[in-house]
């Protein structure tokens, strides 16, 4: 149940008691769900990781996002180490992009949508640039067809940055 709780239950404002109950129920049914193809799970404690960078995704997804990195990832970013070393884990959190009710020109995170995870293991994932991928919606992994698209896109677009889109925000 822990990954789901980290994802959904820590919200101060949005997590109503009903919402928490639903998240708990989901967690109970699939506590350690792993992504197809790669077997990647939502890493414990990822919401406490340091920020790599925020981002925005336009319509149709219309999301605010933040990429967090574990200690190995952050060290590699700060020291400009490429390729990223084994043990690097990146977690991209996404929320609906919502107009702030309190400030006209500001947008803020709405409901959480997806958590996407990249895990570096150059032996285990040798066929995909050393990276395993996991895409989770409400804590549940997306299907195999979605996971088959991950590496092809990263390979086509950011091969020169070890298949990672996100740069460290200065």
Q: Which residues bind its own copies (CB under 8 A)?
A: 7-15, 47-51, 53-59, 61, 64-66, 68, 77-78, 80, 93, 95, 97, 100, 102-103, 105-109, 111-112, 157-158, 165-170
Nearer to its own copies, 87 or 165 (CB): 165
Among the residues of 2-101, which ranges form H helices? 2-4, 17-29, 71-78
Cβ neighbours around 113 below 10 Å, total: 19
CB of 94 to its own copies, least distance (A): 10
Nearer to its own copies, 9 or 34 (CB): 9
For residue 82, the 8-state DSSP code is S
Nearer to its own copies, 10 or 149 (CB): 10
CB of 76 to its own copies, least distance (A): 9
Nearer to its own copies, 92 or 147 (CB): 92
Cα–Cα nearest to 57, from 31, 12, 96: 96
Q: How far apart are the first and last CA of the chain?
A: 35
Cα–Cα nearest to 94, from 30, 153, 166, 31: 166
């Amino acid at each position: 149940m822990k990954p789901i709780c980290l994802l959904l239950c820590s919200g101060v404002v949005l997590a109503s008691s009903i919402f928490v109950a639903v998240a708990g129920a989901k967690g109970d049914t699939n506590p350690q769900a792993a992504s197809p193809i790669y077997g990647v799970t939502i890493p414990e404690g990822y919401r406490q990781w340091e920020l790599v960078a925020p981002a925005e995704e336009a319509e149709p997804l219309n999301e605010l996002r933040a990429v967090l990195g574990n200690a190995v990832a952050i060290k590699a970013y700060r020291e400009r180490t490429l390729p990223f070393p084994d043990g690097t884990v990146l977690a991209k959190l996404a929320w609906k992009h919502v107009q702030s009710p309190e400030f006209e020109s500001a947008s803020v995170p709405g409901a959480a949508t997806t958590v996407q995870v990249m895990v570096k293991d150059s032996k285990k994932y040798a066929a995909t640039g050393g990276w395993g991928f996991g895409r989770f919606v409400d804590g549940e992994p997306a299907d195999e067809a979605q996971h088959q698209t991950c590496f092809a896109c990263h390979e086509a677009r950011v091969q020169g940055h070890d298949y990672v889109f996100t740069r460290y925000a200065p």
